[in-house]
Structure 1
Amino acid sequence: MSQPAARTYEDVLQCIIPALEGLLPVSIETHILTLLYVLAEWHGLAKLRRHTSASVDALRHTTTRLGHELREFHRYTSEMEVYETPKERTARQRARKRARPRAALANNSDAYDSAPVQENERRRRFFNLDTIKMHSLPDYTDSIETMGTTDSTSTQTGELIHRFSKIDMNAQTRIEERLKCIQSNLGETTPARTHQAPPATPLFSDASNEPLPSADSGRLPYQIAQSQKNVIVLPLWVQKYRQDPATKDFLPRLKAHLYTRFTGGQYQDELKRSSQELSTIRFQHDRLYTHCTLRVHYTTYDVRRAQDTVNPRTPKRFVILPSHEALDPRMGARRFWYAKVLGVYHANVSYKGALPKRVDFLWVRWLARMTDVPGGGGTCRLDQLGYFKDSDEFHAFDFVDPADVIRGAHLIPRFVGEHTTEYLNHVESLAIDSEVAGDWKHYYLNRFADRDMLMRFTGMAIGHMTLSCMPDETVAPPKDVSQSTYDYTDADSDAGGGLETDEADIYDHAQEYQGKTGNNSNEEEEDDDNDDMDEDFDEYNEDTENNCDDGLDVDDEERAFVEDDDVSW
């Protein structure tokens, strides 16, 4: 990195943990990864733009942990022989040469003769705890409670105060010169204005008014383009990828998903659909329509609207969805599901002979949390996710409603792990991570990607409702600061921790919320789809679809029914 700024170090801190794994000896790596985790957690809590009493207490406890980890880092690095880099040595030598004339004038030249290290030698470096920044770390909590969040104050006020002296200098002279210039310009332009004819048409006419975006466009749960330029003919597409394990039972699973959405059932009911029920789902012209991106709208921890863009063709293709098991706190399950988006589609679907209506859906590949490798605040390690094999009990490839997506997820491959073809032995699969190496065996879930992501795992955000308000890990004070790692109270236990939440009330509200959501989704499906879409999506349709060329433009005459026993319609 050349001349890194503060934001550069922030970006490095948020994603450096997976990159450092396996590069250092195990005895040192354990301490380094723990320090980085605690530092990233402290940094995320310190820069929150809306605090509560729970988040301030969590920041205070994390500051205690950070101070202990920094002292531990100073202790075991003091025994290492670490020297300055050649670039640092060159900079030090230049600084000494510039300082020699000033030192000679001050009769202080003897100080250089007594230097313990020669100029051409590299100096040994130590981690210094005696700095103002280290000393000010405990003051963050008191400062937030007294003056507000850290974004309400800035050091730019003091840094820019010197500009006032330059502004005041010769201010009167510049004002006089400016007045003369204005008077001269007015004298030249005034006669020309008097002879100008009035405009023939008003400046703002009804014909020139452009349509403004709808005020409710940001309140929609998601946004997908409305065009139907990129076509997939189902018989041809299924026949083309019939050898791909990812497309196994593609059509039956899609019909089961659509049937569940039309009837208002639950996700678990998709596995129990009969062939008679699936026969009630028909696709207009046997076609699907692909899209390049999905825009997900969500509410942040500080009650603001935000948007994530999901593109299946880029690394920004992972999403977070609410876990259905999280409705029952007695099951002890995690609150989120994670998936890789393989495609964004819509289809004009007819149910029981009714008129076709547009239905949006995502084709995803599920990722499961690695239960044998614990993560979170108790272990100071990032959670690990991984793919799994497809089975009849639980589908590795499935379809989800875009409205169920909470937001995008930041997953980082576990670089010390190897690629594997255990899940997909087909090299040219549509769902594989790399056609050359295969799938990454594990991913790290980066909970420090931004402030909102961190608050979703601490459960202290006032902007996260229903399922998201159930804390995955509550932050509690450390029992013994002499330990290098601390056991934070897990939300699934009965200990409680830093938040006081009634799990029974949360369960009741979540059940009620899910019922309302299901009813609302049914009512939305009954509305006319194409006629009632907002006009403010037109510009977005053109921008997002111009670069999307993966669809198949097929005429009606080219649409042939494929005679294949493996394809059932």
Structure 2
Amino acid sequence: GEVEHMHSKDVYGRTNKVNYEGQIARRTLLAERLRIIRTRVDTGRAQRKKKLAEALERKKTTAAGTSEPEVDDKHACDDDEKVKLPYSSATQRYHIAKSQRSHDNVFNWVSSFGDDPAVVNFYQNLKDHALLQLQERGQFTPNYDSSAGFSFQDRTRLVIHKEQLYWHDVARLNWTSYDLQRSQDSVNPKNHADIMLLAGKAGDADTHPYVYARVVRIFHINVRLYDSPMQMFERMDVLFVRWYRIDHSVPGGFEHKRLHRVEFVPQGGDEEVFGFVNPVDILRGAHMIPAFARGRVSTLLPPTMARGVRGQSDNAREDDTDFRYHYVNL
């Protein structure tokens, strides 16, 4: 318009008057980039509001008696960033698809891995995990001494429907950031597989407050108690994980200005190498940085399915090895 010349004069006044043409061009380019970013942010906000409105509408429809179609995750892409997963409310602690199309009989699946250490006592430990979840919900009272663990009689009371494991590729975790914003992590056993949880025991100030694990498989089972035949089978989501442990031989943390160093729990010790996790207990995904300078080792575990996708290393001889250490990226 008629006053556009005032804009040019204003920009000129922000330069040092030496080679001002280039300085004006750079400022104009920066302003255009900021405009594009603002447009992108405004568009994203509008889309999120639209999705929220659609989700609320679907919730009302579901409450009125119309069920949502189940999500088929059998053919989900390995790269979860490329998968258009269905919308899930940010108020949910986590989201795992409802599909039951991809499944295996637990005994057939375990036997297919032979003497793999990852599946040793898999069925017994899975039942212990399920019983513990039911106990925490007040749905199960064990007949055992708490120091000895669940008894054989306790395990026989738990029924896993058709002994089936229903597989999933991705679990999405919702969490609150330090600036009180809701954020989401996508956990996939083939990539982005590391998670963090609160440490179970409250120790002294030197005790690390978190435990870390690598997700090996994501699945759900349908369970009920044998002595409650009128009870409906209840879905229970489970993450099968391989545990890390803190390496206390080196300092870590903000006071030392160094990242905490962790290692996979080796086989043969008193600590559990593998375990099961309730998705509700996961704080968020974790970013583990391999300690490349420390190299790889094969002594932590023999060849196992828990190492993920075979052939992921450029060197075939490294398929059955692990990085000796990882650093927890803060």
C-alpha distance in 2 between matches for 1:358 and 1:247: 22
The answer on whether the counterparts of 2:265 and 2:272 sit within 8 Å (CA) in structure 1 is no
Q: Confirm or deny that 1:330 pairs with 2:330.
A: no
Aligned to 2:140: none
Read off the aligned partner of 1:389 and give its amino acid letter. Answer: P
Residue 393 of structure 1 deviates from its aligned partner by 3.9
SS in 1 for 2:327: strand
Aligned to 1:346: 220
Aligned to 2:112: 240
Aligned to 2:136: 264
Q: Confirm or deny that 1:222 pairs with 2:222.
A: no
Note the alpha carbon deviations across 1:92-119, whole angstroms, 9 max, x for none.
xxxxxxxxxxxxxxxxxxxxxxxxxxxx
Instruction: Report the CA distance shift for 1:331/1:376 in structure 2 as closer, same or farther (over 3 A).
Output: closer
Aligned to 1:526: none
The answer on whether the counterparts of 2:96 and 2:168 sit within 8 Å (CA) in structure 1 is yes
Aligned to 2:305: 430
C-alpha distance in 1 between matches for 2:195 and 2:308: 16
Aligned to 2:325: 442
The answer on whether the counterparts of 2:195 and 2:212 sit within 8 Å (CA) in structure 1 is yes
Q: Confirm or deny that 1:231 pairs with 2:108.
A: no
Q: Which of 318, 321, 324 does residue 197 from structure 2 map onto?
A: 321
Aligned to 2:75: none
Higher relative contact order structure (alpha carbons within 8 Å, sequence separation ≥ 6): 1
Structure 2 portions without partners, runs of 5+? 1-25, 33-53, 61-87, 138-145, 311-316
Residue 214 of structure 1 deviates from its aligned partner by 4.6
C-alpha distance in 1 between matches for 2:242 and 2:134: 23
The answer on whether the counterparts of 2:189 and 2:308 sit within 8 Å (CA) in structure 1 is no
Structure 1 portions without partners, runs of 5+? 1-154, 162-208, 448-569
Read off the aligned partner of 1:294 and give its amino acid letter. Answer: A
How do residues 361-510 of structure 1 correspond to structure 2 at under 5 angstroms?
361-390=238-267, 393-426=270-303, 429-432=304-307, 435=310, 436-437=317-318, 438-447=321-330
Read off the aligned partner of 2:233 and give its amino acid letter. Answer: P
Read off the aligned partner of 2:190 and give its amino acid letter. Answer: R
C-alpha distance in 2 between matches for 1:258 and 1:270: 18
Instruction: Report the CA distance shift for 1:419/1:293 in structure 2 as closer, same or farther (over 3 A).
Output: same
Residue 420 of structure 1 deviates from its aligned partner by 1.2
SS in 1 for 2:307: coil
Residue 416 of structure 1 deviates from its aligned partner by 0.7
SS in 2 for 1:375: coil
C-alpha distance in 1 between matches for 2:243 and 2:163: 26
Instruction: Report the CA distance shift for 1:329/1:240 in structure 2 as closer, same or farther (over 3 A).
Output: closer
Compare the two structures and name the one with the higher strand fraction: 2
Residue 352 of structure 1 deviates from its aligned partner by 3.2
The answer on whether the counterparts of 1:284 and 1:349 sit within 8 Å (CA) in structure 2 is yes
The answer on whether the counterparts of 2:237 and 2:279 sit within 8 Å (CA) in structure 1 is yes
Read off the aligned partner of 2:223 and give its amino acid letter. Answer: V
Instruction: Report the CA distance shift for 1:343/1:243 in structure 2 as closer, same or farther (over 3 A).
Output: same
Residue 432 of structure 1 deviates from its aligned partner by 2.1
Compare the two structures and name the one with the higher helix fraction: 1
- Work out which of the two has the higher radius of gyration on C-alpha atoms and give 1 or 2: 1
C-alpha distance in 2 between matches for 1:419 and 1:333: 27
Residue 418 of structure 1 deviates from its aligned partner by 1.9
Read off the aligned partner of 1:404 and give its amino acid letter. Answer: D
Give the TM-score of the pair, scaled to structure 2: 0.66
Q: Confirm or deny that 1:254 pairs with 2:126.
A: yes
Read off the aligned partner of 1:245 and give its amino acid letter. Answer: P
C-alpha distance in 2 between matches for 1:234 and 1:446: 35
Residue 372 of structure 1 deviates from its aligned partner by 0.1
Instruction: Report the CA distance shift for 1:156/1:405 in structure 2 as closer, same or farther (over 3 A).
Output: farther
Aligned to 2:173: 296
Note the alpha carbon deviations across 1:471-515, whole angstroms, 9 max, x for none.
xxxxxxxxxxxxxxxxxxxxxxxxxxxxxxxxxxxxxxxxxxxxx
C-alpha distance in 2 between matches for 1:321 and 1:234: 27
The answer on whether the counterparts of 2:193 and 2:214 sit within 8 Å (CA) in structure 1 is yes
The answer on whether the counterparts of 2:166 and 2:219 sit within 8 Å (CA) in structure 1 is yes
Residue 373 of structure 1 deviates from its aligned partner by 1.2
Instruction: Report the CA distance shift for 1:361/1:350 in structure 2 as closer, same or farther (over 3 A).
Output: same
The answer on whether the counterparts of 1:411 and 1:445 sit within 8 Å (CA) in structure 2 is yes
Report percent identity of matched pairs: 28
Aligned to 1:307: 184
C-alpha distance in 1 between matches for 2:149 and 2:27: 62
C-alpha distance in 2 between matches for 1:392 and 1:280: 31
SS in 2 for 1:218: coil
Residue 417 of structure 1 deviates from its aligned partner by 1.3
The answer on whether the counterparts of 1:339 and 1:367 sit within 8 Å (CA) in structure 2 is yes
Aligned to 1:480: none
Instruction: Report the CA distance shift for 1:214/1:333 in structure 2 as closer, same or farther (over 3 A).
Output: farther
SS in 1 for 2:129: helix
Say how many residue pairs are matched: 240
Residue 379 of structure 1 deviates from its aligned partner by 2.7
The answer on whether the counterparts of 1:299 and 1:305 sit within 8 Å (CA) in structure 2 is yes
